[in-house]
Structure 1
Amino acid sequence: MSAVLEARGLAKSFHGSTVLDHIDLDLAPGSLTAIVGASGCGKTTLLRLIAGFEAPDAGTITIAGRQVASATSAVPPHRRSVGYVAQDGALFPHLTVGQNIAYGLPGSARSAAVRARVADLLETVALGGDFASRRPHQLSGGQQQRVALARALAREPDLMLLDEPFSALDTGLRATTRKAVAGLLARAGVTTLLVTHDQEEALSIADQVAVMRDGRFTQVGTPEQVYRQPANRFTAEFLGDCITLPCTVTANVADSVLGRIPVAAAEDGPATLLLRPEQLVATVVSDSGQLDAVGTVVATEFLGHDVLVTIDPTGDTGPIVLRQHSLDPPPIDAKVRIDVVGGGVVFR
């Protein structure tokens, strides 16, 4: 089946400042795509163009096989078959939960068909019982977001747009709510585009991740691809902590202070090796085996489940910080050997 959303060459400027610079994006049916990037990079502007709140300066937007926007024409937002959930949920405070969900549905909110539809939607978002009669102020932040999602689902949109819907929630509630929402959307088979500045959020629930910088995508791929095989240094560093080391590449093997590390499709010669902290494992060596040591532990930082271990390696390389389980971390001043799990990526 063809993509539910096809964006081609989208460009947008405000007051002479370029916000989107010829963006291309496809969303497969039933998939969840996360756009992640720093504030001001153009994420929300892209969402607003797709929703129909703004018009592109160039390019086209096609939803479910129908072109809905170009530089010269635009289908109104309410005719695009798009659901939209804003950061704060945007519920009407003077209406009950049931009335909020029924808003926009054909027919009276008191009709049996609409009440049945509202009840089904509330069950879908795990808010059955008496929730239909409550007011938004009587709900938690996570419950309000689920009501907003139910309202957006009511019209059975082809595409769901989520604009940082979990950022206002507490850390624990944010994690449980996003997991619940992702599960609901997957079961409903709704194609979804999520905008977020939270890298963990994007990597944990998305089928596809698009990393944005200054109005352009630096890489689009699966969470594993963009994290493990970043196309450039910006993408690598934006998505998580990195360890960078000077190396020399020969036949797809990088020779560094950590030994010989396999790398993919790299040209021979001097380069910079990139690894993730969790790829490194430090093992304390005995006095008799110090010739195998690659460094000395100079600091540790306890993080609960994990510990950050700072190692001063032999050679001219600066300190190396690795992440490992906190049950038995190497002590400060210990001589350690560092083993690398998996391969690395090199940049020039």
Structure 2
Amino acid sequence: MTHSAFPDGIAGPVPDRDRSPSDIDAACRVLASEGDGLSRMAVALRAIGAEGSGPALGNAFLRVVEAFSALTGRVVVTGIGKSGHVGRKIQSTLASTGTPSIFVHPSEASHGDLGMIQPGDAILALSNSGETPELADIVAHARRFGLLLTAITARADSTLALAADITLLMPQAPEACPMGLAPTTSSTMQMALGDALAVVLLERRRFTATDFGVFHPGGRLGARLRRVGDLMHRGAAMPIGAPDITLRQVIMEMTRKAFGCMGVVAPDGRLCGLITDGDLRRALDRDLERTRAADIMNLSPLTTDPDALAADALRLMNARARPITSLFVLDQSSAPIGILHIHDLLRAGVA
């Protein structure tokens, strides 16, 4: 093997002769094992048993959905170790999709953070074995104050499952770890079950893209959820003119405003047409004083409204074989109230 050009401690590219197909095989076995665990859980969810017939996962899941939908407080998610990491992710997903929730670390709960858990809250405790001693104080707190205690675990006879009001019992599935010790398949199943719960609650609440945007104002996702009305140019910035202005006046208006187009506005205030740079080029052989805006305008321009999502405006711009760069924004009477340029979307991080 040749001397690595990478600094000490940083691995360079693996030479072809050092690559082993068994590494890929092992990785694929992990994916297959975890996929099998998810498949078993989907089967268990669909197997809704009759009332009192046993701990059917589907029945328990529906009970949790009903309970969390009716909460006056928050879902308090808790867990330790890998279950704690998964629990933090589940709590974050719940909160960002409209279900009020917090994460309380079991050890911190025993040292004062039990005060964060209030009347009206419900607890979602995660423990694959169901025998996590650190959860004892939270379980006791739930019993003492009559709080709903729900659990995600893989053992029906565990201390946590027996203490819980509702147990989401994951089906038995081997860990992907060859020793069967490292939480792999089990933690994937926990996370997927939490995602399923969050999405079902989202749909129950009819949580919309607008609601999602309120909780995700930052970054590219937040940008795509911004409204056209937040980004458009208004008033005197709009390139507009009457149908009877001359071609020379059209050129002057488009040059001053630099949007690559001009809206043609009828006497009643409606947008009745659009002239683009392409329309101008095709009309350059015409008389600049005799030709009117109405003679060369496009009668069916693409438009949008101020409440449309910026991402939807971008899709509209790209919908044609030849993408367009500007959209006029109309009010309910079809009057132009703004114009949106592709550069506005780029600056906002949408495109």
Pick the TM interval, shorter chain: under 0.3
Larger relative helix fraction: 2
Higher relative contact order (CA 8 A, sep 6+): 1
Structure with bigger strand share is: 1
When normalised by structure 1's length, the TM-score is 0.26
Instruction: Tell me the TM-score normalized by structure 2.
Output: 0.25
Larger Rg: 2
